[in-house]
Amino acid sequence: MPSARCVRELVIRTENRVGLVGDIARLLSDMGINILAVHVEAQGEEAAVHLITDAQLYARDALRDAEFPVEELEVVTIELPNRPGFLRKIAEALARQNLDIHYLYATAAEGTERSLVVFSCSNNGKAVLMLRER
């Protein structure tokens, strides 16, 4: 089974406005920071942008320097084969351990061999240990 790990996800909770994601992406790309995963949720006047980059500490500091309100949350990342059934196996394994998924997002480009899954559950540390044993 591919290796799971706990990482610190950057979360920006701010006013929802046109151009917000572009401003964040420009700031990070200008610094040479690659966004590996992003999840954006807008509800009314508020927006939450969840980010995992290839340089989390530099990204966090750059976003804070640009006056974005950044918090860090622990999440689990795991790369899976991009084939039917692998997300099911992970979800069922978590359920068997009575681990409740709080949120999850994943992506894979068509034709690629790997997918990236990001999630948070009731016990991220236990989830990582369990997934590493598989």
Q: pLDDT category, 83, cuts 50, 70, 90?
A: confident
With the CA atoms of 71, 72, 75 and 79 taken in that order, what torsion angle do they form, in degrees rounded to the nearest 10? 100
Give the helix, strand, coil percentages of the chain, each rounded to 5.
30, 40, 25
Q: Domains in the chain and their CATH numbers?
A: 9-72 (3.30.2130.10), 75-133 (3.30.2130.10)
Q: How far is CA 2 from the centre of its chain?
A: 17
- Calculate mean pLDDT across residues 17-32: 97
Q: Say yes or no to pLDDT of 49 above 90.
A: yes
> pLDDT exceeding 90 applies to what percent of the chain?
79
Average confidence score pLDDT of the chain: 93
The alpha helices in the chain, defined as continuous H runs, are: 20-30, 56-65, 86-96, 124-133
